[in-house]
Structure 1
Amino acid sequence: MVRWSILPADWIPNSCIINIYDEDDYIPTHIDHHDFVRSFCIVSFMSRSNTLFENEIDVIGPGEFTGSVEIPLPVGSVLVLKGNGGDITKHCISGVQHRKVSVTFRRMDDNKIPYGFRSDSELEELLPFEL
């Protein structure tokens, strides 16, 4: 993602979330916690889905939402959230039609890391990617 200029070379994530969706699974409206530094990115696998963005998203029913901005995420796509898209705009994943996996890469603010947390020593040795 650095080589493709999606992420800056010095941005090294220190956490990730792996979401595995079965048919009709969804993620309700939310704003990601501000303990995580912006930007962060979501990589989509196995099937396409839509991410909906809006300051106020209407819930129609389980996995059904309406809002003004809907971004399709095809297989292999990368969505980068930063600025208002990551800070103040709510987003959600509508109920998926087919099994899907997404991986969200994030970096926790160094000042917010929980007391006593010890990271993996191999991860500590990672260096920024050189182009």
Structure 2
Amino acid sequence: MSVCAIQSLLILFLLGFYPCLDTLTCHKGIMLKFDNNLAITPVEWFSLGTQKTDSREICQETLLLIDVGERSVLVGSKGSSSAGAQDSRAVTIHSQGSGVVAASYVQYCSSDLCNEANSSSVLLESLPLP
């Protein structure tokens, strides 16, 4: 790189111009699991890699559990979100009782690789014991 180009970059940095600093790196991936007792036994949740966001996006991770007796389905997503969400984390129980549980976990965060949950325990820890 020429001395002129380096000097130009230094001047831009000194003036407060930091290109690409408003982007994040987020884990990305999906999960779909059908099995017995997923409301009791945590499942590993792997990232399939990373992705860069644009300046209007933040990282997110979401889990949805539907458990009917011994049969369960667990759906998960990691990546970026442009929904205008702010940093937050929540577990919501949508339905509970008579052997049916429907619950979700969602996290929106705005630092690099912050969507780092590695198992469904982030959801299960908040479920009331049967």
TM-score (norm 1): 0.27
| RCO comparison, higher one (Cα < 8 Å, 6+) | 1
TM-score (norm 2): 0.27
Structure label with greater radius of gyration: 2
